[in-house]
Amino acid sequence: MFLFAIAAGAALQKAALLLLLAALTAGMIAGRRGWKLPGRELPALAAIVEAIGRCAETGRPVLFTTGGASEIRRVELYASMPALRLVAGLAARYDVRLIVPVCYAQTLPVHMLAVQDARLEAADADATEEADVRFLPGGQFLFAVAAMGWMSRERPAACIYFGYWEADSLMFATQGRVGEALQIAATPNLPQTPFFLACCDHVLIGEEFWLAAAQLGGDPVLAGGLSAQDLIKLSVALLIVVGAAAATLPMGVVSDVFAAVRAAVGI
């Protein structure tokens, strides 16, 4: 009985995953044809342009980092790359120096490729300032200390933190605050969000991080996928409400509802 329950649970998980992937694919296909649900703008993304402008005015660099916990296996790392691409492109366009501390050697090519592509895109900007993508070895905390040292020397006017963050979030955000930088942070790791909220000017909370990744793309297919995501969440919310009602109402009422449905359907 117990094994059957586990097998049934696993089957339900797999079915749910397949259903979700099917809904996302359908959303993307519909998105290609122009379908999308209205979505709200994220002020933190608009603030990135303001941050780069501030760097250009002050002649100080902009810092972008994915932190000491965004390892190569973390999907948050890849979801941060559209933001890095945007920052690198704007930095090249406004001739602002970009500094990117990287914690893991494996993630270095991912960062370098995003920066390189963005600078290629903005090639006509005639940028003279270089992008400095540096690998700072030593693991999460030594990376944070090394990056903080770099921040105190370079005094970036804007610090942008995207990715999966752990305890080093506070070290970076505090150093940025001490250096009076405009700070924008985004992480789906909820326990770190209060630290960012305390020290940063703009924070993307929880799921907004993933929305940002899709919104930055400006791709109708991604927008369709995003709308499908919203519908899936709405369905989950409805399921929760129905489940809560079924668990709260007296059993007689639930049976009566089921009996009425069965009578209406004719089974």
Instruction: Kindly tell me which of 68 and 157 has the beta carbon lying closer to another protein.
Output: 68
Instruction: Kindly tell me which of 113 and 254 has the beta carbon lying closer to another protein.
Output: 113
Q: Find the binder of another protein among 108, 155, 201, 254 (CB under 8 A).
A: 108
Residue environment code for 241-254, b if the CB has 16+ CB neighbours within 10 A, otherwise e: eeeeeeeeeeeeee
Q: What is the Cα–Cα distance from 181 to 155, expressed in whole angstroms? A: 8
Residues 215-234 binding another protein (CB under 8 A) are 216-219, 221-222, 225-226, 228-229, 232-233
> Does 51 engage in binding with another protein (CB under 8 A)?
no
> Does 40 engage in binding with another protein (CB under 8 A)?
no
Instruction: Kindly tell me which of 161 and 209 has the beta carbon lying closer to another protein.
Output: 209
Q: What is the Cα–Cα distance from 221 to 31, expressed in whole angstroms? A: 5
> Does 64 engage in binding with another protein (CB under 8 A)?
no
Instruction: Kindly tell me which of 170 and 254 has the beta carbon lying closer to another protein.
Output: 170
> Does 242 engage in binding with another protein (CB under 8 A)?
no
Q: What is the dihedral of CA 135, 209, 219, 16, to 10 degrees?
A: 110
Number of residues near another protein (by CB under 8 A): 79
Q: What is the Cα–Cα distance from 61 to 16, expressed in whole angstroms? A: 46
Write each residue from 128 to 147 as x if it is in contact with another protein (CB under 8 A), else as -, in one continuous string.
----xxxx-xxx-xx-xx--
